[in-house]
Amino acid sequence: MKNDTVDKLVIFLAKRDGIDKLVKTFQYVSKLVHWQTEATHPEIANRIKQWEVASGLSRKAFRTGRFLTGFNALRRSPGSTPTFKFLAVLANAGEMVYFFFDHFLWLSRIGTLDPKLARKMSFISAFGESFGYIFFIISDFIIIREGLEAEKKLVTSKEESKDAKENIRKIKADRVMRLMAVAANVADLVIGVADIEPNPFCNHAVTLGISGLVSAWAGWYRNWPS
């Protein structure tokens, strides 16, 4: 029997990335609601702020050990060409720094470690995150370009075989997934910059809220069972 929406939701939420995207949605929806209600309904805004903070801390707990994902990616499939291997090393190294120091940020924010460490850990974590995302974005754009060229060759060859049509379908599906990854990484890069170099644009609640939701919903799309 084919999986229906409830089946797919159960599968989605059973994944670490699935529950992370759901709680990330809570986190950034609450950020926007807090911004909207802060001036007019301060008591409600304070409760919403607690929801936002709790969601952010919960996500950090869920990500325990996540830095091993990047290490395993480099160990198992670092890339098909020297260029992709180089980009993979830089991207995954940045991501490993992000997730590793995120552990200390979480522990300092819940009071297990000195709360004064939080700012330093946040900076290091955000810097690694942003550094890694730049190279993930570059890699995805290179693969998207290669896919467009391969698709163009298949279309211009006017080959009508089942294999050719299936290859075109796979290229298009891969392109959509990579565009979703780029959207998520760009959105997370904005959030990272807000930590590294605070500024009125990146640190505005609306910018952070929209960026967080773009990242979360792109993640929903990529991780949703087919």
pTM: 0.92
**And the tokens for 220?**
């929903």
pLDDT digits (tens, 9 = 90+) for 181-213: 999 999 999 999 999 999 999 999 999 999 999
What's the pLDDT tens digit per position in 136-195? 999 999 999 999 999 998 888 776 777 888 899 999 999 999 999 999 999 999 999 999
Residue 35 burial by CB count (10 A; 0-12/13-18/19+): exposed, middle or buried?
Answer: middle
